[in-house]
Amino acid sequence: MNQLEFLNEKECWVVRADRGESIDGFRNAGVAAIDFDITELPSEGVEVFKDKNKTYSIFEKYHPHRPKSFPNWWGTFNMFCNHIKIGDVILAPTSNGYLMIGVVEGDVYFQVGDPVLKHTIRRKVNWIEGVFNRNELPFSSLSMFCNSTCFYVVKTKNNEEEVTENSTESISTDIDGVVYIMKSNTFSDIFKVGYADRDAELRCSALSSDKKYGIFNLEVIGYVRCKNFKRLEKAMHNHFAPVRIFSENGCNLDSELFNSKTFPQDFKEYLELLVKQKYYQISEVNLFY
């Protein structure tokens, strides 16, 4: 039996160790960690990272000239501090493309002055001995292409097409498509993100009679037109996985629905970062809120 079969039953996350440069520090300290040069926290300690505005204030203190990076940093802190749980699995890529794998054993804590590892925001992790090739995982993961510091692993079937981290291949077509955001007019704070080959409104009309989505009475509130629209959709689904309504998050429904009061603004802020990446070939952005 593959010793990694247990991963099928676990929530899995990637936490990058400075492109592998800090991987020995992760193992020797028995932690997974993030840093961003933060050397002091306010009196409430790591509890501060439960609040977006307070976290932004810390970013402002240490990086006053980089406010445009705050939305992306908040996504990292929110996932690492508020969504990873004890018992979840961390996959930490090494510098030569392998993975160090461990099980989370503790809540978030703050530590400075460690000569082994400078990273100050940490979780205790029991690392499995050795390193592993991605092909040894009992699942395939299209989300592994993401370059974020911390993100949720969306598992797919092993026979599904996969694009490697360093590949320039894209899931694109000869025509533009759209990635849309829709809101539910039936349930508050429910939103859908998906793609359409041509037109978001036509897709919304089709969904009105869909057995899964019809009850949500969806309305288009924005869309992005681009060549690489399937990859853009996957990037969005991966980034917002912690608030996605699907079976990996304890629901009996696999969906493209998200439950968050702040989702439209969070979608907008993350999109502003993706627009700067030529990879997606974004040609048009229209948000109606």
- 70 with 9, same domain: the answer is yes
Residue entry with tokens 């800090």: 22
pLDDT at residue 163 in the model: 36
Could you tell me the CATH number of the domain that includes residue 28? Answer: 3.10.590
Q: Which domain holds residue 262?
A: 177-287
- 58 with 92, same domain: the answer is yes
**Whole-angstrom distance, CA of residue 220 vs CA of residue 201:** 7
- 253 with 132, same domain: the answer is no
Which of 168-172, 228-232, 268-272 has the weakest average pLDDT?
Answer: 168-172
For the cut 90, the answer to whether the pLDDT of residue 107 exceeds it is yes
Percent residues over pLDDT 90 in the chain: 53
Cα torsion through 38, 72, 166, 237, rounded to 10: 140
- 184 with 80, same domain: the answer is no
Average pLDDT, the chain: 86
Total domain count for the chain?
A: 2
- 189 with 147, same domain: the answer is no
Q: What 3-state DSSP class applies to 35?
A: coil
Tens of pLDDT along 114-151? Answer: 988 999 999 999 999 999 998 889 887 655 555 678 87
166 within a domain of the structure (yes/no): no
Of 152, 186, 201, the last residue of a domain is: 152
167 within a domain of the structure (yes/no): no
The answer to whether the CB of 232 falls within 8 A of the CB of 226 is yes
257 within a domain of the structure (yes/no): yes
Tens of pLDDT along 169-206? Answer: 344 445 689 999 999 999 999 999 999 987 898 888 88
Closest CA to 18 of 26, 27, 29: 26
pLDDT at residue 159 in the model: 41
- 103 with 148, same domain: the answer is yes
Tens of pLDDT along 60-72? Answer: 999 999 987 887 7
pLDDT at residue 52 in the model: 86
- 92 with 197, same domain: the answer is no
pLDDT at residue 271 in the model: 93
Tokens read off for 25: 């520090």
Of 152, 168, 190, the last residue of a domain is: 152
For the cut 60, the answer to whether the pLDDT of residue 34 exceeds it is yes
Strand 150-152, strand 12-15: pairing: antiparallel
- 181 with 257, same domain: the answer is yes
Q: Ranked by mean pLDDT, which of 10-14, 45-49, 249-253 comes out on top?
A: 45-49
164 within a domain of the structure (yes/no): no
- 71 with 146, same domain: the answer is yes
69 within a domain of the structure (yes/no): yes
171 within a domain of the structure (yes/no): no
pLDDT at residue 277 in the model: 84
Closest CA to 77 of 21, 35, 113: 35
Percent residues over pLDDT 70 in the chain: 87
- 222 with 267, same domain: the answer is yes
- 114 with 214, same domain: the answer is no
Section 220-226 average pLDDT: 94
168 within a domain of the structure (yes/no): no
pLDDT at residue 171 in the model: 44
pLDDT at residue 135 in the model: 85
Q: What is the pTM of this model?
A: 0.65
113 CB-near residues (< 8 Å, 6+ apart):
none
For the cut 80, the answer to whether the pLDDT of residue 254 exceeds it is no
pLDDT at residue 184 in the model: 94
